[in-house]
Amino acid sequence: MFLPRILGLSLVLSAGVMLAGCGDDDAKSQAAPAAAAAAKSSSAQAEITKYNSYVDAANSITSSFGEMLGKYEQYALPELKSGEPLKSFAVQTDGHVDRVKARLDKALEQDVAIAELDGPAKAFSEALGTLAPLSRELANYASSRAYMADNGALAREKSPAYVAALTEAAKTEAAFFRGMSEKDLANVKATFTAAEKDTFNYYRAGLVYYGKASLAEADGIFEGTGLGERQAAFKQALDSMNEMALGYDKTGPKSDLSGCSSHINGYLAAGRTVLEHSADGTYGKPKGFALTSTMDSDGSRLRQNFSNMITTFNQRRC
């Protein structure tokens, strides 16, 4: 499963309220709207803080639990099922499980509700809670090479429960990332449409929005099936992103954007390579002696350039 980099949100409140002296009728009439506005701003800030906690949890996952499950089933299970004494055994370190769960729980502890994310995050955290003790036991077993002493007996005993827990973690992780991606795209679109047109902030928000929109249309590249019917939508989003890039360069401070533009251009170039190879039949050709297919390589470059761009935006360098 492709893990998209999620962009954090910030809120700048710059509203001033003029308060009249005691006993002024205007002060009384303005007090209620001002209090309501302040409460609304506080609630919005609380939601953004919680959302950013979810972003922190999502971006901490460098290797998906679905990928872990795939590797375990590919490499460990055949050895376990052979019945032969184990010469090697490995599982994902338990620290990865604990770290992701802790960050999810930090977000869930915050009072404000985010309906699209709280349910999936809670299910994901609970799945990781089930996985954690199994992961910890098997990680210690693997790192100490205890399988050399018992010929893999403990690994064979615990493997069914570990696979079941890892499967549930992968399933709930996918649901959490679907929710994050949908919420992320909605947030970025709202920021983009609210920005004053033809300004630096407008083009910056547009870059992120159309970048994410194009990436959402490229699922087939990451899954190995190709763009298919989504090729036109991918091209349209990429073309719109290019328009934003031109405006971004035109309106931004020239001395500060060279590194930012290189990441943006890298993503646009990778996207156009995907379009080229989709159109000329390259993806239908056998990979021969190559370790990875052209589609896999193109997908890797596309997401790496996108991740680089979002990282620089998150760090406020662009």
Confidence (pTM): 0.73
Concatenated DSSP letters for 267-296? HHHHHHHHHHHHHTTGGGS--TT-SS-HHH
Q: 10 Å Cβ neighbour count for 91? A: 25
Average pLDDT of the chain, as a whole number: 85
Lowest mean pLDDT among 38-47, 94-103, 228-237: 38-47
CA distances from 254 to 3, 37, 239, 313 (A): 32, 38, 23, 16
The confidence score (pLDDT) of residue 18 equals: 28
The confidence score (pLDDT) of residue 302 equals: 94
Residue 33 — pLDDT band, cuts 50, 70, 90?
low
Q: 10 Å Cβ neighbour count for 150? A: 14
The confidence score (pLDDT) of residue 285 equals: 80
The confidence score (pLDDT) of residue 284 equals: 84
> What one-character DSSP code corresponds to residue 7?
P
Q: 10 Å Cβ neighbour count for 123? A: 18
The confidence score (pLDDT) of residue 260 equals: 83
Q: What average pLDDT does this structure show over 111-123?
A: 95
Q: What average pLDDT does this structure show over 48-61?
A: 90
The confidence score (pLDDT) of residue 15 equals: 26
Dmax over CA atoms of the chain, in Å, equals 89
Question: Could you give the percent of the chain with pLDDT greater than 70?
Answer: 83
Q: What average pLDDT does this structure show over 156-182?
A: 95
What would the pLDDT profile of 242-276 be if each residue is shown by its tens digit? 999 999 999 987 666 767 889 999 999 999 999 99
The confidence score (pLDDT) of residue 219 equals: 87
The confidence score (pLDDT) of residue 313 equals: 81
Q: Which two tokens stand for residue 203?
A: 């083009």
What would the pLDDT profile of 175-234 be if each residue is shown by its tens digit? 999 899 888 888 889 989 999 999 999 999 999 999 999 998 998 998 889 999 999 999
pLDDT at 37 over 70: no
pLDDT at 36 over 90: no
Residue 17 — pLDDT band, cuts 50, 70, 90?
very low
Q: Measured between alpha carbons, how far is 162 from 168 in angstroms, rounded to an integer? A: 10
Q: Measured between alpha carbons, how far is 146 from 155 in angstroms, rounded to an integer? A: 10
pLDDT at 290 over 80: no
Helices (H), the chain: 25-59, 65-71, 77-82, 94-108, 115-143, 147-150, 153-194, 200-216, 219-223, 231-251, 258-279, 294-314
CA distances from 210 to 113, 243, 272 (A): 28, 10, 14
Domain coordinates of the chain in residue numbers? 46-181, 195-318
Pairwise pLDDT comparison (257 vs 21), residue with the higher score = 257
Residue 12, helix vs strand vs coil: coil
Residue 12 — pLDDT band, cuts 50, 70, 90?
very low
Residue among 299, 305, 300, 220 at smallest CA distance from 268: 305
Pairwise pLDDT comparison (44 vs 289), residue with the higher score = 44
Residue 54, helix vs strand vs coil: helix
pLDDT at 292 over 70: no
CB 7 within 8 A of CB 188: yes
pLDDT at 54 over 80: yes
pLDDT at 29 over 70: no
The confidence score (pLDDT) of residue 184 equals: 83
What would the pLDDT profile of 223-247 be if each residue is shown by its tens digit? 889 999 999 999 999 999 999 999 9
